[in-house]
Amino acid sequence: MMNNVYISIFGLNLSTINDFKNIINNQISSDYKINWTNITDDRLDILLINEDFSEINHVKNINKKTTSILKVSKNEKSAGEIQNNHLYLPLVSSRAVNLWLDEALEKKQQLQQSNTRMSFPTEEEKEKHKKIDYKHISSTFSHIYSEYPDISNFTILNKDIAIAVFDLNNNLFYLDSEFNLENISDFIIIPAEINTIIKFKKHFKPKDLHHAFWQFVWDISPYEVPQYNNTYRLLKWPQPNLKFNRHALLKISAYLSKGCSIQYIHEKTNISVNTINRYLFACDIAQMMEEIPSHEALVNVPMVVETNEIGAVRGFFNNLRKKLGL
């Protein structure tokens, strides 16, 4: 059952309202039931409002602890940017709004958890109990190229049970939606039989191979992974399907889209170095990032390179590039 989210847009013209509604629907409708309401609704979670109306009594009386408010006004020089919960029009991209929405929804989740006095483990606490070593993950993916260089369709097995099928030629990934990856204890990858391919294509929706690889590796990888001590830039943004820490991961994406080091991200966001390393480990296997010279990064920081620990992973990436024709 989807969680409800109550949203109001006030004081903007119809065209802008429709733009915001499209952005919001595209970003959160798969995870939340969106209820469009008015600014006097006590259930209000999110309010987008023309700055000219931000001082009216109804807005002043809104509980800022439970409602996230985004003021909107025109400013050509800062178009599309959000600064201190203030968005400047015209909209040139939905990215800033999407990040703000994720932060607002994370605030809503945290409030719900506090109100219900439920105790959820942090992402780091959960990952400490994972059983699969990162070396097994990287070597298992590398194995498919050394043993089966001319095959493109593979099955992922957990205790002899097929949980996923992927197609390297067509960049498609099919995951058994009924299997909980938190229960995975071991896995191998073998060439897929035709009946298995047909079954998965019939019963499960295809996903982009890069995004699915990223999510799969993130879900099964342990807390300890290789240390990425150079500077890196994203080739594609991962689309994390997570209830917790999604906003933190999107922050990492935002920094890495411009190219930077783990240390720089950690200093700017206070996100743990281990979390950023796990993010990059998943990106590496999913072929969604590249290593760049330090002078191309946001800040030039001399780094100590540790190549031994990530050598096995690099071998897989080179083979993946050849297989996908990248």
Domain positions in the chain are 3-116, 122-326
Phi, psi of 274, rounded to the nearest 5 degrees: -60, -40
Sheet hosting strand 153-158, strand order edge to edge: 188-191, 153-158, 161-167, 172-175, 206-208
Please give the CATH superfamily to which domain 3-116 belongs: Response regulator (3.40.50.2300)
- Residue-wise pLDDT tens digits, 262-289: 999 998 888 888 899 999 999 999 989 9
- Residue 46 pLDDT more than 80? yes
Q: Using N-to-C axis directions, what is the helix angle for 273-285 and 134-147, rounded to 10°?
A: 10
User: What span, in angstroms and rounded, lies between the C-alpha atoms of 204 and 224?
Assistant: 31
Q: What pLDDT is attached to residue 58?
A: 81
Phi, psi of 86, rounded to the nearest 5 degrees: -130, 115
- Residue 81 pLDDT more than 60? yes
Asked if residue 298 lies in contact with residue 248, where contact means CB atoms within 8 angstroms, the answer is: no
Q: What pLDDT is attached to residue 308?
A: 44
303 pLDDT tier (thresholds 50, 70, 90): very low
Asked if residue 301 lies in contact with residue 267, where contact means CB atoms within 8 angstroms, the answer is: no
If you average pLDDT over residues 296-305, what whole number do you get? 53
| Whole-number percent of the chain with pLDDT over 70 | 84
Asked if residue 97 lies in contact with residue 20, where contact means CB atoms within 8 angstroms, the answer is: yes
Q: pTM here?
A: 0.57
- Residue 244 pLDDT more than 60? no
- Residue 152 pLDDT more than 90? yes
User: What span, in angstroms and rounded, lies between the C-alpha atoms of 84 and 88?
Assistant: 11
User: What span, in angstroms and rounded, lies between the C-alpha atoms of 13 and 30?
Assistant: 26
Q: How far is CA 32 from CA 63, 111, 113, 322, in A?
A: 22, 16, 16, 40
